[in-house]
Amino acid sequence: QKEVEQNSGPLSVPEGAIASLNCTYSDRGSQSFFWYRQYSGKSPELIMSIYSNGDKEDGRFTAQLNKASQYVSLLIRDSQPSDSATYLCAVRAGTYKYIFGTGTRLKVLA
Amino acid sequence: NAGVMQNPRHLVRRRGQEARLRCSPMKGHSHVYWYRQLPEEGLKFMVYLQKENIIDESGMPKERFSAEFPKEGPSILRIQQVVRGDSAAYFCASSATGGRLAEAFFGQGTRLTVV
């Protein structure tokens, strides 16, 4: 079982819709969770961090964490074509290195 | 406020040569993480360093690869006797602390091509 799992996609949504990206993790001791966005050929960019169960909102982005289900998600409201990218879920545990999923490719259709 | 700086951005090496990748963390950051990324793949953890210490090197091959983060100067990822399979993008990230709430920020990466 991979430490951090994401559906590779592509996830296609129409412009203006809500995009829902999901991530599961295997280490119950994980304490910190992050979402990064990576455009093709570029470096990962931190979007959100979440540490406690529940929702955390920042602009059009909402991160949701459920530690009991070992599940973290990212919602993007009013999706724009510029949101088209690969979204990486990262989890921090153990020695506090960041472990990444393989990413979900999002396509927002104009 | 400069972000994480990596150099060179592109590096071409012949098989058998050495590659040295440099990473200067963000100002005030003392924790550095190195990752490797192949095309269409995720980020593979290699090594986590704090100033003068290796915290976790569980993702780094035992042979040919080494990393350091000296008291002064950038972190260096060194690959000896490179092979074609080492061709990848190598990213460095830094965080201010090693604590639970620390957020890591990435540099622009070094694209290594072995010919």
Residues in chain A, overall count: 110
Task: Note the pLDDT of residue B97.
Answer: 87
Cα B51 from Cα A24, distance rounded (Å): 32
Going from the C-alpha of A21 to that of each of A38, A47, A89, A107, the distances in angstroms are 14, 13, 9, 12
Shortest CA gap A30–chain B (Å): 9
The predicted pLDDT at position A1 comes to 64
B39 touches chain A (CB under 8 A): no
For chain B, residues with pLDDT lower than 70 are 1
Instruction: Choose the closest CB to A97 out of B42, B48, B99.
Output: B48
Mutation for testing the A interface, residue in B43, B48, B108 having most A CBs under 10 Å: B43
DSSP conformation class of B2? -
> pLDDT digit of tens for each residue in chain A (110 aa)?
679 999 988 999 999 999 999 999 999 989 899 999 999 999 999 999 999 999 999 999 999 999 999 999 999 999 999 999 999 999 997 777 899 999 999 999 99
Please provide the average confidence, as pLDDT, over all residues in chain B: 94
C-alpha distances in Å from residue B73, one per residue of A49, B30, B57: 29, 11, 20
pLDDT at position A94 is 72
- Interface membership of B102 toward A (CB under 8 Å): yes
Please report the pLDDT score of residue B33 as a whole number. 96
Interface check A99 vs B, CB under 8 A? yes
- Contacts with A31 from chain B: Cβ below 8 Å: 100
CB of B110 within 8 A of CB of B21?
Answer: yes
Q: Classify burial at A65, counting beta carbons within 10 Å of its beta carbon; exposed 0-12, middle 13-18, buried 19 or more.
A: buried
Q: Give the C-alpha separation, B91 to B102, whole Å.
A: 18
Best mutation target, A96, A99, A104, to test chain B (most B CBs within 10 A): A96
Of A46, A97, A103, the CB nearest to B103: A46
Spatial CB neighbours of A59, under 8 Å, sequence gap ≥ 6: none
Q: Output the pLDDT for position A21.
A: 97
- Interatomic CA distance for residues B85 and A2, integer angstroms: 23
Q: What is d(CA A18, CA A80) in angstroms, rounded to the nearest whole number?
A: 10
**Does B107 reach chain A within 8 Å, measured CB to CB?**
yes
CA distances (Å), B14 to each of A83, B9, B19, B22, B115, in order? 38, 17, 10, 19, 5
| CA atoms B5, A37, A103, B50: torsion sign | positive
